[in-house]
Amino acid sequence: MAMLNCTYLLIVFFILMNFNPLIAQTSDQDGHHHEHADYELGLSLGMTRLVEEAENALSSHLHFSRKLGGTELLERFSLGLGFEYIFTKHPHYSVVGTISINPIWALIVDISPGVLITEHDGSKEKLFVTHLELTYEFDYQGFGIGPVVGAGFSEEDNHLMIGLHIGKGF
């Protein structure tokens, strides 16, 4: 069932990626993609499926990252910190380190290992978690806006997310 949900999320992501009324904002007159800023503060808001709990909930993910830079290859990599919160009756939140890769066009792949903290019956449980996210950003008036899909994997708690990413570079 989780694989089916993940498949649906990926299909919706790629449909949204190709439905792009803002695409004209992502390229200059020669068709070249605009460079991203050295720093980014980003927020993703979405709907999350908690697999083991069979529950849907709103979620938010805030991150701050810095582009490595220096060479053309390193320009495609960023390092940062992130915080995710899933709004359920039993709070789920994560603190993660983030490695972002911009392999092609406006596609961003995030790999974020960290700590997941869940609360059940008044006690907190801490687990190792790995978050994976795919974002496709369109440049619009100084902001990066676009669809995002993600997944969090831990020993006891897995979740899938689809939403909207908004980032501001500086």
pLDDT level of residue 70 (50, 70, 90 thresholds): confident
Q: What is the pLDDT of residue 110?
A: 97
pLDDT level of residue 44 (50, 70, 90 thresholds): very high
First CA to last CA across the chain, in angstroms? Answer: 41
Cα distance between residue 114 and residue 128, in whole Å: 6
**From the candidate CATH numbers 2.60.40.10, 2.40.160.20, 3.40.30.10, 3.40.50.620, the one assigned to the domain spanning 2-20+39-169:** 2.40.160.20
For residue 130, is pLDDT > 70?
yes
Question: How far is C-alpha 76 from the chain's CA centre?
Answer: 16
Is 75 or 119 the better-scoring residue by pLDDT?
A: 75
Q: What is the pLDDT of residue 28?
A: 42
Cα distance between residue 33 and residue 169, in whole Å: 15
Taking the domains of the chain in order of start, what are their residue ranges?
A: 2-20+39-169
Question: What's the average model confidence in pLDDT over 28-52?
Answer: 77
Alpha-carbon separation of residue 77 from 69, 89, 165 (angstroms): 8, 36, 18
Question: What's the average model confidence in pLDDT over 8-37?
Answer: 50
For 10-23, the pLDDT digits (tens) are: 555 555 555 444 44
Is the CA virtual torsion 103, 45, 9, 112 positive or negative? positive
Q: What is the pLDDT of residue 6?
A: 52
pLDDT level of residue 79 (50, 70, 90 thresholds): very high
pLDDT level of residue 119 (50, 70, 90 thresholds): confident
Q: What is the pLDDT of residue 156?
A: 86
